[in-house]
Structure 1
Amino acid sequence: MNRFRDRRDAGRRLGARLDRFRGRDVIVLGLPRGGVPVAAEVAAMLDAPLDVILVRKLGLPFQPEVAMGAIAEGGIRYLDQDLIRNCGVTDPELAEVEAAEWRVLEAREAALRPGRRRLALAGRTVIIVDDGIATGATARVACRAARDLGAAHIVLAAPVASGDTLATIVEADEIVCVSTPTVFRAVGEHYEHFGQTTDAEVVAALDEAVSRISGRHPEGRRP
């Protein structure tokens, strides 16, 4: 099994696969929280701006770890209608889960972007990064959100992913992945250290990226 030491190691190895984007007009977006340390390494290697794209999984009411869909900033939603139907999820149950996750998403935006506006994506190449792709629900809705926000070209990137899942993702213009193991059960199995990322770590990564870009543009202009 191709394992990563931690998310930073995974980000460096993923960044090497994305080197062709160095010096180009790209924005790197990390999926909070675990995708942000990976994205931060990628952004640093490409010397690109870093932001988050806020997505929340919609878990089954009786099995929250299983995604029946996802929502993203900008009012974007994706639903796995086959799973919802097969599991007998009712409209009121779906509405309750979705309302709760919208509240969390709004709170997360306030926590992760304190006093900071979302980077403009219109006309840009956007690299969306997560620490791994299992069901693909959050990845798909993130790509849809980026497209809705005007991204011209979307690259979905992850250190590890289920090959079967990647074959179903049509929302990205291209997909870059370091490892697609034949047997894929959980993202964490492919890391030696896979601790939970905190909001404070996400904010620190975003602040560091702003300082890096500001150093390149001393007048304070954002790319």
Structure 2
Amino acid sequence: MFIDRLDAGTKLAQALKDHPLVQKIALADRLVLSIPRGGVVIGKKISIQLNSRHDVILVKKLGAPFQSELAIGAIAETGQPFIDQSLVNQIRVDDSYLREEINRVRAKIAMYKTKFRQDKELNLAAHLTILVDDGMATGETMKAAIAWLQGQEKTHSKTYHLSPTTYLIVVPVAASNAATDIRALGVELVCLEESSDLTAIGQFYERFDQVTDEEVIKLLAKN
């Protein structure tokens, strides 16, 4: 149980300080990427403790019909959709809903890019990329972030120093199934609490208030 996101960030930063990958990579070659909005509070705390560069990676989940908290996929930074087709088929999501949800989330990401990064592209040059969120229920958002970064690695291999072995996926809490899925991608997961009966990320926090856009902007302004 965590008091709030700051408490979770402090505990994760402490765990990361002794991590072999963190210890062997120079400060200038570390990059902390947070998933807005809740992940930014935690990622900022980690970046301060590790003296590392910090930014946001703009990835947002696609919500299921009548159950927006259930992720049926996610949209990545450049608008690319990553769909959990088996879940879409299982709950019978129709094509028109999926198109509308993709367009809605793409618009949200475009807005975030303007608000949070002033429309600047993400600088991915790093030897160690630490991906941070405030928790993983299905893992779909994190999977999309990883897939997008790996795609950028292939496209910009001469510019970005990225490979699957240089990723650390960092969350305070995760559903056991989501944690297993992430590890199956060949990346390392640092997670303080794994639960087989997780129903909501907020159940692992005493305070889990919604993080506002304004709070994110203030945190990023301190980079």
**1:18 match: secondary structure:** helix
1:123 deviates by 5.1
Aligned with residue 155 of structure 1, among 162, 168, 173:
168
Query: Aligned partner of 1:155: which letter?
Result: L
Instruction: Please state if 1:73 is matched with 2:77.
Output: yes
Instruction: Please state if 1:166 is matched with 2:179.
Output: yes
Assess if the C-alpha contact under 8 Å between 1:54 and 1:109 holds in 2: yes
For structure 1, the 5+ residue unaligned runs are 210-223
Assess if the C-alpha contact under 8 Å between 2:171 and 2:192 holds in 1: yes
| Identity within the alignment, % | 36
1:64 deviates by 1.7
Superimposed CA distance per residue, residues 124-163 of structure 1 (whole angstroms, 9 cap, x where no aligned partner): 3210000011110101101112222323322111011112
Work out the CA distance in 1 between the residues paired with 2:31 and 2:186: 15
1:69 deviates by 0.6
Query: Aligned partner of 2:12: which letter?
Result: L
Structure-2-length-normalised TM-score: 0.86
1:14 deviates by 0.6
Query: Given the superposition, is the C-alpha separation of residues 183 and 63 from structure 1 closer, same or farther in structure 2, using an over 3 Å criterion?
Result: closer
* Higher fraction of helix: 2
Query: Aligned partner of 1:109: which letter?
Result: K
Aligned with residue 191 of structure 1, among 201, 205, 216:
205
**2:149 match: secondary structure:** helix
Aligned with residue 177 of structure 1, among 183, 191, 207:
191
Work out the CA distance in 2 between the residues paired with 1:38 and 1:123: 20
Query: Aligned partner of 1:161: which letter?
Result: A
Aligned with residue 8 of structure 1, among 6, 9, 13:
6
Moved over 6 A (4+): none
Q: Indicate the residue corresponding to 1:34 in structure 2.
A: 38
Q: Indicate the residue corresponding to 1:221 in structure 2.
A: none
The two structures, once aligned, show a CA RMSD in angstroms of 1.6
**1:69 match: secondary structure:** strand
1:172 deviates by 5.5
Query: Given the superposition, is the C-alpha separation of residues 186 and 172 from structure 1 closer, same or farther in structure 2, using an over 3 Å criterion?
Result: farther
Work out the CA distance in 2 between the residues paired with 1:118 and 1:16: 30
Alignment of 1:25-174 (within 5 A): 25-114=29-118, 117-122=120-125, 124-150=127-153, 151-152=162-163, 153-169=166-182, 170-171=184-185, 173-174=187-188
Work out the CA distance in 2 between the residues paired with 1:103 and 1:35: 20
Query: What is the number of residues matched between the two proteins?
Result: 206
